[in-house]
Amino acid sequence: MNLAEMLSYADIAQLSGIAEVYQCECSSHSKNELIQSILSTVQRREVLAQRVGEMSLGDLRFLNSLLFEKRASYSLEDLTARAALAAEARPAKSAETPEPKQIAAPKSRIGPPGSEAAKRPPAGSRKKGKPPEAPPSPADERRSAIARFKRYGWLFGGITQQTRYLYHVPEDVKRRLCDAIEDRFREIVEHREEPPAYRDERGLMAADLAQLLKFVRNHDTPLTSDGYLYKRQLQQMLGVCSVLEQPPAKSAFRFGYGRRFKEYPERFSLLYDFAFYTGLILEDEGELRLTDKGREIADGKLASDPSELYRFWLKLYKQPVTNLQALAQWVMRLSRHAWVTVPSLEAALLPLVKPYYFDSEKNVFEQRMLAMMLHLGLLRLGESRAGEAVVTMTPQGVVLVSGSEIGFEETLPWSYGAVDSR
């Protein structure tokens, strides 16, 4: 539903609260006047732009988790989980700040003249100081974020008995908020002319998947006791791929981006996990084997769908890269018609990115996002005449990113948080 319909079902108390936020000049006793005033105010582009500009980083991340899904409703638990993921990290207590000293109570109030005990006022004459306020709990902060969005008119409760405990975002408000945020980002992003040369990897992931399956069909591929390929077989499989990768260094801490990410390089790890989870290969009694479906692709009787690879990447990386789907949408929106510089794209979007253990925000954005979008054929990567890294979306990328989505709760059946203690 759109905002006008949701306002018509809202009670006058909620309407008055929304009107107060937007400083609407109208009677608080007339529901019709409140609705008309809110609609005329919210429909002004500069009003939402101002509201977006004043938002905290946590609220902006929370909002982005709601903008690019087509689902009709959200439970309170779902919204709370999103707000928790979007919340800003609390600053650590400074080591330079001394802890307040605990003064032990004296055994006696009697002491020599001039002593502390003599100066102390008698019992009962002290003024009780106001106890320090406890910092808000994470649960309170999450509820506050949801309450703010309700006051802004971006979240509404259900209107039927079945949906009374669910929340809805008006569709036209989603579109206007997207436009307002995009305008803000476009002020930061810098455009360049087409570079003299660029990389375009469209179709290479699907082709390499077929090559890997052919390798398994034609060769014995034993596995270690931990389920990984031996170094010799891994080097041979990497050698048949279109994009050259090296096995990761043994000293690296690698976890969070796939079931076999610990021992395999990024692109190969994605291909291997995709083949495993979609039932193309089996790890059977210490050996890698093809399934019937995998053999059909290896024999050229069946082709893999690029959209399946993209959706799998979203599912695989969504937990370590929070807001991944929204970030991919923003990269598409900001670079679909022009070449943009990577540093300016980072300046616009890096605030939406959170670090993940060993990965900084910059590393998450460049290696886990842009590099993988290049491998998936969504992006072209080039270098301007001035030596700047520039990117633009491919036509296939625009279609895949704008037409594919995954739900917040869609995950793969393995533990993302298993930390490598090596």
CA 85, 90, 92, 98 torsion-angle sign? negative
Report which listed range, 25-29, 71-75, 92-96, 375-379, is most confident: 375-379
Distance of CA 104 to the CA centre of its chain: 49
257 versus 126: which is more confidently predicted?
257
Output the CA angle 244-249-254, nearest 5 degrees.
Answer: 100
pLDDT at 125 over 50: no
Question: How many domains does one find in the chain?
Answer: 3
Residue 49 CA to residue 103 CA, distance in Å, equals 52
Residue 55 CA to residue 99 CA, distance in Å, equals 33
- Give, as one character, the DSSP assignment of residue 108: -
User: Is residue 198 very low, low, confident or very high in pLDDT (cuts 50, 70, 90)?
Assistant: very high
Answer yes or no: is 80 within a domain: yes
- Contact 370/331 with Cβ under 8 angstroms? yes
**Same domain flag for 159 and 60:** yes
Output the pLDDT for position 343.
96
pLDDT at 421 over 60: no
**Same domain flag for 80 and 166:** yes
pLDDT at 418 over 50: no
- Backbone dihedral angles phi then psi of residue 361, each to the nearest 5 degrees: -55, -40
pLDDT at 239 over 60: yes
Q: Are strands 379-383 and 389-393 parallel, antiparallel or unpaired?
A: antiparallel
DSSP 153-205: TS-EE-SSTTTTTEEE--HHHHHHHHHHHHHHHHTT--EEPPPS-EEE-TTHH
pLDDT at 106 over 50: no
The domain in which residue 395 lies consists of 191-201+316-403
User: Is residue 322 very low, low, confident or very high in pLDDT (cuts 50, 70, 90)?
Assistant: confident
Residue 192 CA to residue 392 CA, distance in Å, equals 10
**Same domain flag for 396 and 265:** no
Return the CATH number at 158: 1.10.10
pLDDT at 124 over 60: no
pLDDT at 255 over 80: yes
Q: What is the tens place of the pLDDT at every residue in 60-86?
A: 999 999 999 888 789 999 999 999 888
Return the CATH number at 392: 1.10.10.10
Contacts of 92 (CB under 8 A, 6+ apart): none
pLDDT at 170 over 60: yes
Span 216-229, mean pLDDT? 94
Output the pLDDT for position 100.
39
Output the pLDDT for position 410.
61
User: Is residue 127 very low, low, confident or very high in pLDDT (cuts 50, 70, 90)?
Assistant: very low
Residue 339 CA to residue 331 CA, distance in Å, equals 11
pTM of the model: 0.82
Contacts of 113 (CB under 8 A, 6+ apart): none
Span 130-142, mean pLDDT? 54
Answer yes or no: is 291 within a domain: yes
Spatial CA neighbour of 33 closest among 44, 22, 25: 25
pLDDT at 23 over 60: yes
Q: What is the tens place of the pLDDT at every residue in 327-381?
A: 999 999 999 999 999 999 999 999 999 999 889 999 999 999 999 999 999 999 9
Answer yes or no: is 120 within a domain: no
Output the pLDDT for position 70.
82
- Give, as one character, the DSSP assignment of residue 114: T
**Same domain flag for 236 and 296:** yes
SS3 295: helix
Answer yes or no: is 132 within a domain: no
Residue 315 CA to residue 412 CA, distance in Å, equals 7
Answer yes or no: is 108 within a domain: no
Contacts of 332 (CB under 8 A, 6+ apart): 378, 393, 397, 398, 401, 402
Residue 39 CA to residue 421 CA, distance in Å, equals 55
- Contact 342/366 with Cβ under 8 angstroms? yes
Span 408-414, mean pLDDT? 58
pLDDT at 53 over 80: yes
**Same domain flag for 171 and 220:** no
Output the pLDDT for position 407.
60
**Same domain flag for 12 and 155:** yes
Residue written as token pair 């001039």: 114
**Same domain flag for 226 and 297:** yes
**Same domain flag for 302 and 160:** no
Span 197-213, mean pLDDT? 95
Contacts of 122 (CB under 8 A, 6+ apart): 109
**Same domain flag for 326 and 276:** no
SS3 290: strand
Q: Are strands 156-157 and 166-168 parallel, antiparallel or unpaired?
A: antiparallel
Output the pLDDT for position 162.
76
pLDDT at 52 over 50: yes
Residue written as token pair 């605990």: 102
**Same domain flag for 346 and 375:** yes
Answer yes or no: is 422 within a domain: no
**Same domain flag for 227 and 295:** yes
Answer yes or no: is 115 within a domain: no
Contacts of 78 (CB under 8 A, 6+ apart): 408, 409
Kindly list the distances between the CA atom of residue 369 and the CA atoms of 56, 287, 386, in Å, as whole numbers in the listed order. Answer: 24, 32, 24
**Mean pLDDT, all residues of the chain:** 84
Which of 307, 325, 360 is the last residue in one of the domains?
307
- Backbone dihedral angles phi then psi of residue 392, each to the nearest 5 degrees: -150, 155
Output the pLDDT for position 160.
78
- Give, as one character, the DSSP assignment of residue 329: H
**Same domain flag for 79 and 51:** yes
Answer yes or no: is 131 within a domain: no
pLDDT at 297 over 70: yes
Q: Token pair for residue 264?
A: 């395999």
Span 407-417, mean pLDDT? 54
